[in-house]
């Protein structure tokens, strides 16, 4: 057996730091949460080099007493709790007591602090967990923490960090969420000497939404409200046109803490289900206040995941609140803002939970219903009959694909013999060839053609661009700007030309020509969403393959009349593909009937 070694304190602290300090954004999160818990009304955050080189967090909170300063850097030292019982009643944001200790173990930390009743403040420096100096200093009330050279003494950890731009984008996204979660606090966020974000701290949520997401998004929000004995819900939900390609904009703040919850997401998405396309997710900012004894915040070390004691009641409250908001008549877009510019569209109604509660989705409810005996028997009988029919069918016919799409129909020399009969229901085209009638879904066919055409252009690096005149102006959040800047090469490869228009606005001057029918803004933002969601694990080819599937959205829709010439060109290109049989989603593009099939239907033959 190998020798058992007792680890020294430095090694123990570095191991603990690995659990708390994953990357620069972890440092910012811990320091800002401490500042919030100190009662600060103003918090300033500054980073350089993506937070790897420099992080400074300054607040005007209560400060730290002289004797408590060295103690604050000890492991398991905290002002938030005193005993195990306090864990279930924590309203503060951080309480593990390892934040400052872990940060100091892998960086150079300088702390300056002063309490209101002290004449002088103090400056405390610690490097790699080792105290370097502790002196009096003339500083303002509150606390400033400066963190330099993160992971300087753990190079193995540092080399796994991403670029400064990427690490900075994580911090930017965190600050955006902090601004929204604490509208009563004024935040100032500076990146490499330039002011990136700021909030006024006037407890005006809609003003903070404007500072983070811009005017366009702010004008598409509906306020919602709900109150019961044990729960209150408030906030804003987006009209259907604000839907995005991922869940990054489903923002839930429970007792001012940004959290993730399958219960909350499922309730919101179920309420939006009748209004959104597949693979689209709602934009919501919801604030939920609930007694701490009805929550378990210790599900995950990062405290971002929580568990509700009364999941069904919470699900019902969220579902009813969002449903009421999303079904208002005010969802019809209006060009006129409310006179008071408060963001409210109507009075906030109270919603009473109905006695009959909706069932939770199966992904949440762990119990599954066991079928009754007669149901099992019916299923088995059906399965046996299906297998029998399949065996009999297999003995009679060749594979269906070979039967429907023989080389005769696909052969280049036979295309002039295709007789286009016409269009029905504005969606389906009928083609006669020899003894068969082929029915082609124009939307599915165009999806397939655009998908293959665009995918080949991406693969060959020869995407054709279409200029837009005048350019289309889009407003991006700070984190979206970072994604755009870091991935500008991918956007150019996809056929986009983007120019900075001032502030947080960008001008789209060119878009992929094959996708010109698509809303420029929708497609551009969906690319950003895709990159944002896959930022941590993406590979260029995988991203481009996913983006190519968005060509489906540019296809002509069903119930749209097109000319014979357009239909002929579309059908010809579809049939020239290696696989013309299904759209990218797997739906059939073509079905066929033989002459004898129709004769049987009309009882001409039996």
| Cis-peptide into 470, omega within 30 deg | yes
Digit-coded pLDDT (tens) for 497-536: 999 998 889 998 988 887 655 566 677 887 788 777 665 4
- Mean pLDDT computed over 467-483: 88
Helix (H, G, I), strand (E, B) or coil at 116: coil
Q: What letter does residue 472 receive in the DSSP assignment? A: E
Q: What is the pLDDT of residue 18?
A: 47
- What's the pLDDT at 165? 92
Q: Are 296 and 262 in contact (CB under 8 A)?
A: no
59-103 pLDDT, tens digit each = 999 999 999 899 888 865 454 444 444 444 544 444 344 688 889
The residue whose two tokens read 């058992």 is 4
* Average pLDDT for 346-362: 41
pLDDT for residue 550: 65
- Sequence-ordered strand ranges (E) for 181-331: 186-191, 194-198, 221-227, 232-238, 250-254, 257-259, 284-289, 295-296, 307-308
Cα gap 387→171, rounded to integer Å = 57
Confidence category of residue 162, pLDDT binned at 50, 70, 90: very high
Average pLDDT, the chain: 78
pLDDT at 336: 36
Label the pairing between strands 186-191 and 42-48. Answer: parallel
At 236-285, the pLDDT tens digits run: 999 887 888 889 999 999 988 898 888 999 999 999 887 777 778 999 99
pTM recorded for the entire structure: 0.65
Instruction: For the sheet with 436-441, list strands across it.
Output: 419-424, 428-433, 436-441, 590-594
Domain boundaries, the chain: 9-198, 205-331, 405-606
Higher per-residue pLDDT: 430 or 333? 430
> In which band, very low, low, confident or very high, does the pLDDT at 185 lie, cut at 50, 70 and 90?
very high
Please check whether the domain covering 205-331 is classified as CATH 3.30.230.10.
yes
CATH architecture, domain defined by 9-198: 2-Layer Sandwich (3.30)
Residue-level pLDDT at 307? 80
Q: Which of the listed CATH numbers 3.30.70.20, 1.10.357.10, 3.40.50.300, 3.30.1540.20 matches domain 405-606? A: 3.30.1540.20
> pLDDT, tens digit, for every residue of 106-161?
999 999 999 999 999 999 999 998 999 999 999 999 999 999 999 999 888 899 89
């Amino acid at each position: 057996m190998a020798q058992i070694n007792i680890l020294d304190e430095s090694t123990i602290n570095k191991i603990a730091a690995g659990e708390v300090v994953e990357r620069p954004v972890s440092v910012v999160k811990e320091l800002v949460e401490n500042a919030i818990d100190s009662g600060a009304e103003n918090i300033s955050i500054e980073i350089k080099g993506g937070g790897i080189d420099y992080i400074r967090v300054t607040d005007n909170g209560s400060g730290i007493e002289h004797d408590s300063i060295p103690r604050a850097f000890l492991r398991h030292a905290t002002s938030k709790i005193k005993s195990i019982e306090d864990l279930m009643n924590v309203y503060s944001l951080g309480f593990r007591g390892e934040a400052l200790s872990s940060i100091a173990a892998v960086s150079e930390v300088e702390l300056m602090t002063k309490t209101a009743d002290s004449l002088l403040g103090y400056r405390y420096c610690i490097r790699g967990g080792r105290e370097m100096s502790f002196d009096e200093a003339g500083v303002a009330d509150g606390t400033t923490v400066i963190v330099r050279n993160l992971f300087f003494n753990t190079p193995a950890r540092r080399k796994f960090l991403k670029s400064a731009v990427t690490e900075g984008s994580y911090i930017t996204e965190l600050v955006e969420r902090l601004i929204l979660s604490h509208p009563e606090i004024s935040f100032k966020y500076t990146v490499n000497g330039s002011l990136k974000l700021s909030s006024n701290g006037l407890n005006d949520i809609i003003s903070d939404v404007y500072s983070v997401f811009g005017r366009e998004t702010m004008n598409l929000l509906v306020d919602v409200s709900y109150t019961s004995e044990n729960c209150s819900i408030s906030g804003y939900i987006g009209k259907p046109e604000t839907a995005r390609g991922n869940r990054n904009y489903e923002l839930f703040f429970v007792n001012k803490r940004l959290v993730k919850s399958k219960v909350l997401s499922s309730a919101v998405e179920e309420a939006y289900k009748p209004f959104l396309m597949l693979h689209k997710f709602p934009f919501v900012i919801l604030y939920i206040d609930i007694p701490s004894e009805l929550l378990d915040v210790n599900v995950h070390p990062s405290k971002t995941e929580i568990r509700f004691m009364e999941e069904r009641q919470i699900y019902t409250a969220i579902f009813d609140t969002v449903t009421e908001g999303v079904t208002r008549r005010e969802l019809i877009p209006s060009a006129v803002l409310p006179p008071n510019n408060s963001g409210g569209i109507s009075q906030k109604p109270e919603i009473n939970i109905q006695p009959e509660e909706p069932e939770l989705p199966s992904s949440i409810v762990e119990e599954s219903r066991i079928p009754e005996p007669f149901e099992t028997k019916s299923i088995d009988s059906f399965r046996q009959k299906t297998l029998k029919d399949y065996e009999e069918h297999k003995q009679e016919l060749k594979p269906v694909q070979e039967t429907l799409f023989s080389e005769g129909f696909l052969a280049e020399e036979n295309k002039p013999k295709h007789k286009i009969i016409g269009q029905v229901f504005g969606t389906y085209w009928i083609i006669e060839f020899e003894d068969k009638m082929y029915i082609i879904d124009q939307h599915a066919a165009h999806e397939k053609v655009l998908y293959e055409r665009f995918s080949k252009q991406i693969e060959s690096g020869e995407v054709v661009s279409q200029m837009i005149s005048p350019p289309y102006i889009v407003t991006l959040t700070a984190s979206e700007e970072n994604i755009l800047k870091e991935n500008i090469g991918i956007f150019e490869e996809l056929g986009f030309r983007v120019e900075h228009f001032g502030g947080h606005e960008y001008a789209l001057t060119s878009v992929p020509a094959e996708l010109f029918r698509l809303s420029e803004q929708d497609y551009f933002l969906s690319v950003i969403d895709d990159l944002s969601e896959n930022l941590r694990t993406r590979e260029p080819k995988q991203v481009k393959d996913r983006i190519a599937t968005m060509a489906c959205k540019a296809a002509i829709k069903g119930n749209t009349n097109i000319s014979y010439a357009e239909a002929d060109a579309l059908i010809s290109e579809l049939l020239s593909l290696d696989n013309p049989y299904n759209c990218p989603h797997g739906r059939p593009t073509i079905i066929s009937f033989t002459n004898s099939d129709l004769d049987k239907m009309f009882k001409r033959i039996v």
